[in-house]
Amino acid sequence: MQTDIAPSRLSAKQQAIGPIAAFASTGDLVRLASALDSGLDAGLSVGDCKEILVQMYAYAGFPRSLNALGVLMKTVDTRKRRGINDPEGDGPGPVPVGDALLAAGTANQTKLTGAPVKGPVFDFAPAIDQYLKTHLFGDIFARNNLDWQSRELATVAALAAMNGVEPQLLSHVRVSLYQGLTPPQLRQFADVLAERVGHEAAARARAALDQLSPANQ
C-alpha cells in the first residue's frame, strides 16, 4: 500500500555517510578509519565509500580526498584480513565527455537546485562556473552509482564540519530539501553529527536548517 507520509528517519547507511564525509573533509584520518569501518558495517559498499571520498575533492581539496582514499584502502584490507569481504558495489555508468560534459553538468545543476544557477561571482570569474558545471555537476554528479540524496548528505556533513563555509552549507541544505530529504531527516542527520562528529558541526547544520525550515513549524 502506498502512503503520502514523508519519511522522518534516515537509514543506517544514510546516517553513516555523515561521519565519513565530515572526517574526510577535515583531515581527521584516525576518526575517518573508524567511521569507514562503521559505515561498511552499516551496509555501505566499498564503491559507496569511494564515491563519497572522491566527491570530497570538490569541497575539501585533492590532498584530503587522496588521503581519505588511502585510509579506505587500508580499512578494506584490514577487514579482509579479519575475514570480512565487503561488497564492491556497482560501478558508474558512462559519463559524458567534451562539450557534452558541460551540457550534462549544467542540466544536473539545474535539476538539483530547481532553477538555473546564476550570480555575480560567476560573472566576475566565469572559470569557476565552468569548473563547477563540468567537474562537480558533470564528472561527479553524472556518476549514477551513488544517488543524489546521498551525495547531498555527504556535502552537508563536509560543509558543516568546516568553519567559514556557512553560505555554501545553507545552499546545500536547501538542495537536500529540494531533492526530497525531509526536515525531520535532516534534523536527525544533525543529531548524528552531534553524536559522532562534534557539536559545532551539528550546530552549523541545525542553524542552516532552521533558516529554511524553523523547528517550530
Residue at 3 is within a domain: no
Quick count: other Cβ atoms within 10 Å of Cβ 78?
A: 12
Residue at 80 is within a domain: yes
d(CA 104, CA 96): 7
Q: Are residues 73 and 174 in the same domain?
A: yes
Q: What is the pLDDT of residue 204?
A: 98
Q: What is the pLDDT of residue 21?
A: 98
Residue 34 structural domain: 12-93+143-212
Q: Are residues 20 and 89 in the same domain?
A: yes
Task: Say which range, 23-32, 136-145, 152-161, has the weakest mean pLDDT.
Answer: 136-145
Q: Are residues 27 and 16 in the same domain?
A: yes
Residue at 217 is within a domain: no
Average pLDDT over residues 16-35: 98
Q: Are residues 20 and 59 in the same domain?
A: yes
Measured over the CA atoms of residue 148, residue 27, residue 209 and residue 169, the dihedral's sign is: negative
Residue at 1 is within a domain: no
Task: Say which range, 40-54, 129-143, 151-165, has the weakest mean pLDDT.
Answer: 129-143
Q: Are residues 110 and 175 in the same domain?
A: no
- Give the CATH number for residue 181: 1.20.1290.10
Place of cell 560534459: 101
Q: What is the pLDDT of residue 5?
A: 57
Average pLDDT over residues 166-189: 97
Residue at 86 is within a domain: yes
Q: What is the pLDDT of residue 93?
A: 87
pLDDT, tens digit, 9 for 90 and up, residues 69-128 = 999 999 999 999 999 999 999 888 888 898 899 999 999 999 999 999 999 999 999 999
- Domain final residue, candidates 126, 142, 158: 142
Residue 4 has pLDDT above 60, yes or no: no
pLDDT classification of 167: cutoffs 50, 70, 90: very high
Q: Are residues 110 and 163 in the same domain?
A: no
Residue at 67 is within a domain: yes
Total domains, the chain: 2
Cell matching residue 136: 562537480
Residue at 125 is within a domain: yes
| pTM for the full predicted model | 0.93
Q: Are residues 125 and 200 in the same domain?
A: no
